Amino acid sequence: MKRDEIRDKNWNRELLEKGYFIFHGLLNRDDIPIIKERVRFIAEHADIYEQLGIGHVKEDRPNARNPLHRFYRLNSPAYHNETLWKKMISNPRTVGLVRSVLQDDFCVNAGGFFLKPPRHGSITPWHQDSAAWNMPPAPYDPNEPVMFDFWIAIDRATKENGCLQLIPFSQKLGRIAHQRQGNKLTEVDPRDHGYNLEQDAVACEMEPGDILVWHQNALHYSGPNRSDKQRIGLAGTFIAKRDVPWMRAIRPGNKYLDYLPVCENGHPLDLPKEFLIDEDQVLAMAS
């Protein structure tokens, strides 16, 4: 049974030793079309979400006719939708997997849907999330608590349509310096650290409903979509409740970091009422 698959493995050790793992079939397959519909709804009504003060979207092509082609990232609204919350964030299997790494009290913060429509670029350069999060440089400590950085596929993700690529064991570099090169994030060239991208990078190909989890210091990247197939996934970070205070301290003033409690004493929680955006309200505002 899948439940045992979650319990039987020491996922925390995988993260600390190898720097990542893929867990297949986290989401219920029947939920995938429902999730896709909700993402489309959010994309179609992104302006309304923005009016409601929870917009945090990044556009690639403001004039695109298909709303899924407009954005390269739909952030905060992902965590204001009850269906997405129940099916992706607080479902018992997601909670079980996250508990195995962060234990019984944790939150979700930031993150969003990364959209790669067919034949559209949207490269995410090589980076460590610890740099993107402005975490202080620290030597790699095998006992340090890790964040739970994740990417859940809702389309099949392949090398051709721009799946995540990752360098196993690169978390052992510790937090390294990044530079801004005009891309969406500060970045780093793994070749400057002795890696050969052809040999060392792994393309994390995934089926809808699979989850990729990586260490905050693992180098990762996603390439352009050179295929006719769309690639959408939800990326985000779960963190233990005990880590919230220092995370807040290193990102002061970032109003988009909503530390939403997902699990308390091992029990999954509902989306906090004040975060719930009712789709009927969105539709009423749109009409």
- Residue 29 tokens read as 């397959």
- Residue 159 tokens read as 């090398």
Does position 233 bind ligand AKG by CB under 6 A? yes
Does position 114 bind ligand AKG by CB under 6 A? yes
Q: What is the smallest separation between the CB atom of 172 and ligand AKG, expressed in angstroms?
A: 19
Does position 129 bind ligand AKG by CB under 6 A? yes
- Residue 164 tokens read as 């995540």
Residues 87 and 27: beta-carbon distance below 8 Å = yes
Q: Which of 76, 171, 222, 225 binds ligand AKG (CB under 6 A)?
A: 222
Q: What is the smallest separation between the CB atom of 150 and ligand AKG, expressed in angstroms?
A: 8
Give the rounded distance of the alpha carbon of 24 from its chain centre: 16
Residue 49 or 214: the one with the smaller Cβ distance to ligand AKG is 214
Q: What is the smallest separation between the CB atom of 222 and ligand AKG, expressed in angstroms?
A: 3
State how far the Cα of 30 lies from the Cα of 10, in Å rounded to an integer. 28
Q: What is the smallest separation between the CB atom of 151 and ligand AKG, expressed in angstroms?
A: 6
Q: What is the smallest separation between the CB atom of 264 and ligand AKG, expressed in angstroms?
A: 25
* Site residues (CB under 6 A) for ligand AKG, limited to 191-220: 220
Spatial CA neighbour of 165 closest among 76, 98, 250, 231: 231
Alpha carbons within 13 angstroms on the beta-carbon side of residue 179 total 5
Q: Which of 102, 235, 257, 262 binds ligand AKG (CB under 6 A)?
A: 235
Residue 48 or 70: the one with the smaller Cβ distance to ligand AKG is 70
CB 259: neighbour CB atoms within 10 A? 17
Sign of torsion, CA 171 172 174 180?
negative
Residue 64 or 185: the one with the smaller Cβ distance to ligand AKG is 185
Residues in binding contact with ligand AKG, number by CB under 6 A: 8
State how far the Cα of 47 lies from the Cα of 149, in Å rounded to an integer. 28
Question: Which parts of this chain interact with ligand AKG (CB under 6 A)?
Answer: 114, 124, 129, 151, 220, 222, 233, 235
